[in-house]
């Protein structure tokens, strides 16, 4: 079963036209981390060994029996105007030995001034994005898990509105005895249902083929993850030809093969000081290289940090990271709907 699903994942990824460069697909908000745990890990991780149901939002194969009736809520702010809210829960269905989950992610960009083509102010509007998704997971034999996600996507920018339908498919190998997990997931396979301008010319969704490995040390309180994203294409850098020409910046064409390879990777570590407290750090190399824009370098771009306070019936997580001169802040709360220990 797991070999067949893995073959399907790569077959689907090879059949999707996913050659647009970063920023040129529609609904790019789908890549935003929905939980502080994921943000602290560098924003991309599909293999972390964790009891956080929020991690299953980006890889349904991480949805496990132990997450039955767990609820995860998250609040994320980049600026005073841009805010993100997330909510996830799951249920174990003993009759079919499977798990189902429901997740919502909502972004509000505040109130923006609306003008006409001549620049005259004609009012204001409040752009928003959201996705509602249904997740399913099931185990296969002793070590394998597979999962599927169905997403309904909606985006509204004043008079311009769009919607879409997408699917994720994930596969995970988990060796509890050796504390090792390896995962692969194909994300955002789908289509626009309605375009922003009402035409029949649909834009691509931000398809992403990701793979990751996580290892928790047996005799030390450390867990390490290595995640690779956008494996379906070699060059992940965004190419703004007009900006490059104006600024005299030709790094898109001058990036070496090594830089292009490294841009696919996210490194992260978790330190377990006790059963109740842990620290997390991540480095997203694509984010770092992208944010180190022309004449705007920052030594901390791409780094993220976080901590977790894991109490008996509630888990509190916080994450922060650097966007040039700005910091983001994300908080998550996890608890069980029945009040059982997590």
Cβ contacts of 90 within 8 Å, gap of 6 or more: 53, 56, 63, 67, 68, 69, 70, 99, 100, 101, 102, 135
DSSP letter, residue 220: S
Q: What is the dihedral of CA 226, 2, 32, 330, to 10 degrees?
A: -70
Residue 74: pLDDT over 50: yes
Q: 172, 138 in Cβ contact below 8 A?
A: no
The whole-chain average pLDDT of the chain stands at 87
Total domains in the chain come to 1
Of the two residues 287 and 236, the one the predictor is more confident about is 287
pLDDT tens track for 129-151: 999 999 999 999 999 999 999 99
**pLDDT reported for residue 36:** 97
pLDDT surpassing 70 at residue 15: no
Question: Average pLDDT, stretch 263-282?
Answer: 96
Domain that holds residue 295: 2-114+121-336
The more confidently predicted of residues 123 and 18 is: 123
Predicted local confidence at residue 329, as pLDDT = 92
Instruction: Say what the pTM is.
Output: 0.88
CA angle 105, 109, 110 (to 5 degrees): 125
Q: How confident is the model at residue 246 (pLDDT cuts 50, 70, 90)?
A: low
In a domain, residue 174? The reply is: yes
Least confident among 18-22, 179-183, 211-215, 224-228: 18-22
Q: Is residue 86 part of a domain?
A: yes
Distance separating alpha carbons of residues 169 and 186, to the nearest angstrom: 5
Residue 341 within any structural domain of the chain: no
Task: Report if residue 290 sits inside a domain.
Answer: yes
What's the pLDDT band for 114 if we cut at 50, 70, 90? Answer: confident
In degrees to the nearest 10, what's the CA dihedral of 207, 293, 228, 318?
-100
Indicate whether 100 belongs to any domain: yes
Residue 60: which CATH number? 2.40.160.40
Q: Is residue 260 part of a domain?
A: yes
Question: What is the average pLDDT across 254-259?
Answer: 68
299-313, pLDDT tens digit by residue? 788 899 999 999 999
Query: In this model, does residue 314 exceed pLDDT 90?
Result: yes
pLDDT tens-digit map of 34-47: 999 999 999 999 99
pLDDT at 193: 96
Rounded CA-CA distance 106/77 in Å is: 12
Q: What are phi and psi of 14, to 5 degrees?
A: -75, -20
Confidence of residue 250 (pLDDT cuts 50, 70, 90): low
- Token pair belonging to 283: 């480095």
pLDDT for residue 2 is more than 50? no
Query: For residue 4, what pLDDT is reported?
Result: 44
The per-residue pLDDT for 113 is 87
* 342 within a domain of the structure (yes/no): no
pLDDT at 253: 55
- The answer to the question of residue 192 being in a domain is yes
Mean pLDDT of the region 163-192 = 97
Q: What is the pLDDT of residue 13?
A: 42
Beta strands in 109-196 (DSSP E): 112-115, 121-125, 128-140, 144-157, 160-175, 180-194
Portion of the chain with pLDDT greater than 90, in percent? 65
């Amino acid at each position: 079963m797991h070999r067949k699903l893995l073959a399907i994942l790569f077959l689907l990824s090879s059949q999707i036209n996913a050659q647009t460069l970063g920023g040129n697909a529609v609904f790019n908000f789908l890549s935003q981390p929905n939980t502080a745990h994921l943000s602290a890990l560098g924003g991309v991780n599909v293999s972390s060994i964790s009891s956080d149901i929020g991690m299953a939002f980006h890889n349904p194969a991480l949805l496990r029996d132990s997450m039955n009736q767990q609820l995860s809520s998250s609040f994320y702010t980049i600026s005073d105007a841009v805010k993100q809210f997330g909510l996830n829960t799951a249920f174990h269905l003993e009759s079919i030995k499977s798990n189902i989950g429901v997740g919502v992610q909502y972004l509000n960009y505040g109130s923006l001034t609306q003008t006409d083509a001549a620049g005259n102010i004609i009012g204001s509007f409040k752009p928003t994005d959201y996705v509602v998704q249904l997740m399913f997971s099931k185990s296969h034999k002793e070590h394998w898990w597979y999962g599927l996600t169905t997403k309904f996507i909606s985006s509204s920018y004043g008079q311009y509105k769009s919607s879409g339908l997408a699917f994720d498919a994930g596969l995970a190998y988990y060796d509890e005895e050796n504390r090792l997990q390896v995962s692969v997931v194909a994300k955002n396979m789908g289509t626009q249902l309605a375009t922003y301008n009402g035409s029949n010319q649909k834009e691509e969704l931000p398809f992403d083929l990701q793979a990751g490995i996580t290892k928790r040390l047996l005799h030390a309180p450390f867990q390490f993850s290595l995640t690779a994203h956008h494996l379906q294409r070699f060059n992940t850098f965004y190419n703004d030809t007009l900006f490059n020409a104006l600024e005299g910046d030709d790094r898109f064409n001058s990036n070496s093969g090594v830089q292009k390879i490294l841009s696919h990777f996210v490194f992260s570590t978790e330190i377990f000081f006790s059963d109740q407290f842990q620290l997390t750090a991540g480095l997203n190399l694509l984010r770092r290289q992208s944010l180190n824009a022309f004449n705007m370098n920052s030594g901390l771009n791409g780094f993220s940090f976080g901590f977790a306070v894991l109490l008996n019936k509630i888990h509190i997580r916080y994450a922060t990271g650097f966007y040039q001169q700005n910091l983001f802040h994300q908080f998550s709360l996890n608890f069980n709907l029945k009040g059982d220990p997590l």
